[in-house]
Chains A and B, each alone.
Chain A
């Protein structure tokens, strides 16, 4: 295990530059119900070779953030109101549309939750894979076909050379997701965005797909953004985590730090509400009270305040600042430092108990 991790840290040390940087991104949707601020002031950075996890519940804005990166926001009703998205030094938001299309699928590619709706049901998968390389890499038909088979073999599709000419419905959910990954990686993109890639799959298939993404990532050196609601998945897969709630980044931190010393009451609540592997008899599961907010009608102040057990007067009145806890650990909370200090104390007592 260790021998495996050392070279990968070396690699990140080699390319220590930033691949993607998002600053104060705001993506709003005009609806009958008023303006929905789906993404409201999101900033983060992703370094080359790193995996970033974006965690959040439905409506937190995690998918809209990633769609904004590819400029895939349906317009109208959606609009990127302000902010900056820099990808490998290029300003995505000011690029002409033609240039954006050159990036999509070539340098940034994306896989979605439901592989059935993202594959064309009327096309053989070989043709769907060939389209990309013909367009982006200028392959001839023969080259593209050969490349398609190679890609399908790489993602572990059994019997790839004959199965390549099948239609999507002839594959199981797990196999379709492999086809999607083959397609996403066929131009060796610098960034792969995986939006809930395993939510529709069974646990054993989920383990296969996550393993596959991990392996391919270490081979190609691509950066990955993994969007999910499952804290278990990000724990094992990512270097950094961004926790989103109501369109805002509530906490961002290196993965280990976030799990060990969460600095935000929402993150803490989420971590505590997952059933532990070993249940203490009769102990109730921690629950965050209340419901996720209606993004069209956010309360003034902190959007989590109505559900937060730590909330005080100021939380209901003023939007909290993004507090820096360590150089790369930030939390959006009026009491971030207290929460962080408490997490550290809890951590120490837990460590103290487990040592003897």
Chain B
């Protein structure tokens, strides 16, 4: 399970969360032990200038050792609450944020080791759709210029040919060609999101990171954009990393879903499995917190309401990071960092209190920590050591 890579251009070895790939494909993107740490200056300005002991830098571990494979043609959902690192992960895989450690293999090449120029060429295949359709479009450029820019940057088309392709793209995302000469402020949120999608498609990418693409939109527009993303995926064989806090949308769009908490993946499974039979107490709480638009179901539901807030990523809790809010915490949870292991076939969870023999945490004997007994023990000891 703990795979290590020191040589950057070596193709990644199969990683266990490699659930039945769609059509038996190889992973399009493999993330290995990715880390993004932000340094934050501590103390007052004076302390920092004077170099006093109080100016000790604090480290925000936004991503702390994430490994996963994303297969061609699938939608990989990433859910979690704000501050869990899901957006940072989306940016780090495209190297919009430089990772502190780890590798991101795209078609077998490590993006982290590419030069800026090589990276630019690869970026053609890697695009992004942003959350805020207001700030992600240049207000001084017309729609035609915005959508046409990737053609120029990557030298794909010019002149009339480019215009024809831009018009075709606008049609594809459901906008009229007439909008070509207009500016972003003339459009509603949903239309702007379509412009953002057209721009992401312009370079004909393989892989798109969609970071909360629907959360800023009205309910009736959300379903339009979700359907559009699905149709484009079918037509163009796209692979999505779909980042959202909206579990309903993630469940609807994704093939597989990973749940993040404070910089780590805590559970990973097929979307349906995760929604119907979650293993982790955190995932259960997350799912039970989502209101269901049916009064009769709501009246009968028993909700797991979590106590407290998400702790800060600066001083993230020791051991299992969820132990401060988990109803099943025992002493070992505070000490041992759980590893993501396969609890059921193709269903991974990071919890030392469950095991393949007893995956249901509500049935686990009090104080039992089966996750500590197996090979997981070696990994955990290693992690605790450094």
A203 touching B295, Cβ below 8 Å: no
B252 touching A285, Cβ below 8 Å: yes
B219 touching A202, Cβ below 8 Å: no
A175 touching B223, Cβ below 8 Å: no
How many chain-A residues does the 8 Å CB contact rule pick out?
47
Question: Nearest Cβ distance between residue A27 and chain B, in whole angstroms?
Answer: 21
Residues of B within 8 A of A89 (CB): none
Among B6-14, B143-151, B298-306, B368-376, which stretch is in contact with chain A? B298-306
Residues of A within 8 A of B272 (CB): 278-279
Residues of A within 8 A of B251 (CB): 275, 277, 279
Q: Quick one: which of A270-311 are within 8 Å of B by CB?
A: 270-271, 273-279, 284-289, 291-292, 307
Among A90-98, A107-115, A134-142, A228-236, which stretch is in contact with chain B? A228-236
B306 touching A273, Cβ below 8 Å: no
Q: Bound state CA distance, A122 and B252, in angstroms? A: 44
Residues of A within 8 A of B220 (CB): 57, 269-270, 273, 287-288, 292, 307
Question: Nearest Cβ distance between residue B186 and chain A, in whole angstroms?
Answer: 11
Residues of A within 8 A of B227 (CB): 284-285, 287
Q: Bound state CA distance, A9 and B124, in angstroms? A: 61
Q: What total count of A-B pairs have CB within 8 Å?
A: 127
Indicate whether A174 reaches chain B with its CB closer than 8 angstroms.
yes
User: Which chain A residue lies CB-closest to B306?
Assistant: A204
Indicate whether B342 reaches chain A with its CB closer than 8 angstroms.
no
Indicate whether A206 reaches chain B with its CB closer than 8 angstroms.
yes
Q: Bound state CA distance, A271 and B310, in angstroms? A: 31
Bits for B245-261, please: 1 = Cβ < 8 Å to A, else 0.
10111011000000000
Residues of B within 8 A of A167 (CB): none
Bits for B74-85, please: 1 = Cβ < 8 Å to A, else 0.
000000011000
Residue of A5, A57, A205 ringed by the most chain B CB atoms within 10 A: A205
Question: Nearest Cβ distance between residue A166 and chain B, in whole angstroms?
Answer: 15
Indicate whether B235 reaches chain A with its CB closer than 8 angstroms.
no
Question: Nearest Cβ distance between residue B304 and chain A, in whole angstroms?
Answer: 8
Question: Nearest Cβ distance between residue A204 and chain B, in whole angstroms?
Answer: 5
User: Which chain B residue lies CB-closest to A158?
Assistant: B308
User: Which chain A residue lies CB-closest to B79?
Assistant: A203
A235 touching B293, Cβ below 8 Å: yes
User: Which chain B residue lies CB-closest to A284?
Assistant: B227
Residues of B within 8 A of A235 (CB): 291-295, 297-298
Q: Quick one: which of B238-278 are within 8 Å of A by CB?
A: 245, 247-249, 251-252, 272, 275-276
Q: Bound state CA distance, A2 and B64, in angstroms? A: 46
Indicate whether B346 reaches chain A with its CB closer than 8 angstroms.
no
A202-B81, A232-B292, A259-B294 as given contacts; A273 in contact with B219, CB under 8 Å: yes
Residues of B within 8 A of A275 (CB): 223, 226, 248-249, 251-252
Indicate whether B221 reaches chain A with its CB closer than 8 angstroms.
yes
Residues of B within 8 A of A82 (CB): none
Residues of A within 8 A of B33 (CB): none
Q: Bound state CA distance, A13 and B300, in angstroms? A: 23
A203 touching B290, Cβ below 8 Å: yes
Indicate whether A207 reaches chain B with its CB closer than 8 angstroms.
yes
Interface of B is mostly: helix
A203-B290, A231-B293 as given contacts; A291 in contact with B306, CB under 8 Å: no
How many chain-B residues does the 8 Å CB contact rule pick out?
46
B309 touching A57, Cβ below 8 Å: no
Question: Nearest Cβ distance between residue B317 and chain A, in whole angstroms?
Answer: 16
Residues of A within 8 A of B296 (CB): 256, 259-260
A204-B285, A269-B220 as given contacts; A211 in contact with B305, CB under 8 Å: yes
User: Which chain B residue lies CB-closest to A175?
Assistant: B309
A287 touching B224, Cβ below 8 Å: yes
Q: Bound state CA distance, A207 and B247, in angstroms? A: 14
Residues of B within 8 A of A203 (CB): 81, 245, 247, 286, 289-290
Residues of B within 8 A of A278 (CB): 272, 275-276
Indicate whether B190 reaches chain A with its CB closer than 8 angstroms.
yes
A1-B300, A236-B298 as given contacts; A285 in contact with B223, CB under 8 Å: yes
Indicate whether A208 reaches chain B with its CB closer than 8 angstroms.
yes
User: Which chain A residue lies CB-closest to B224?
Assistant: A287
A204-B289, A235-B294, A275-B251 as given contacts; A57 in contact with B219, CB under 8 Å: yes
Bits for A240-280, please: 1 = Cβ < 8 Å to B, else 0.
00000000000000011001100000000111011111110
A1-B299, A202-B82, A208-B305 as given contacts; A277 in contact with B292, CB under 8 Å: yes
Q: Which of A158, A207, A230, A260 contacts B289 (CB 8 A)?
A: A207
Q: Which of A236, A279, A288, A307 contacts B299 (CB 8 A)?
A: A236
Q: Bound state CA distance, A279 and B190, in angstroms? A: 24
Besides A275-B226, A288-B220, 14 other A-B contacts (C-beta < 8 A): A202-B81, A202-B310, A229-B218, A230-B291, A235-B291, A236-B292, A236-B295, A236-B301, A260-B296, A271-B293, A275-B249, A285-B252, A287-B223, A288-B223
- Pick 30 A–B contacts, CB within 8 A, sort by A: A1-B300, A57-B218, A57-B220, A174-B309, A202-B310, A203-B81, A204-B81, A205-B81, A206-B289, A208-B306, A211-B305, A229-B218, A236-B295, A236-B298, A260-B296, A274-B248, A274-B293, A275-B248, A275-B249, A275-B251, A275-B252, A276-B252, A279-B251, A279-B252, A285-B226, A291-B191, A292-B188, A292-B218, A292-B220, A307-B220
Seen from chain B, the residues whose Cβ lies within 8 Å of a Cβ on chain A are: 81-82, 188, 190-191, 218-224, 226-227, 230, 245, 247-249, 251-252, 272, 275-276, 285-286, 288-301, 303, 305-306, 308-310
Seen from chain A, the residues whose Cβ lies within 8 Å of a Cβ on chain B are: 1, 5, 57-58, 158, 172, 174-175, 202-208, 210-211, 229-233, 235-236, 255-256, 259-260, 269-271, 273-279, 284-289, 291-292, 307
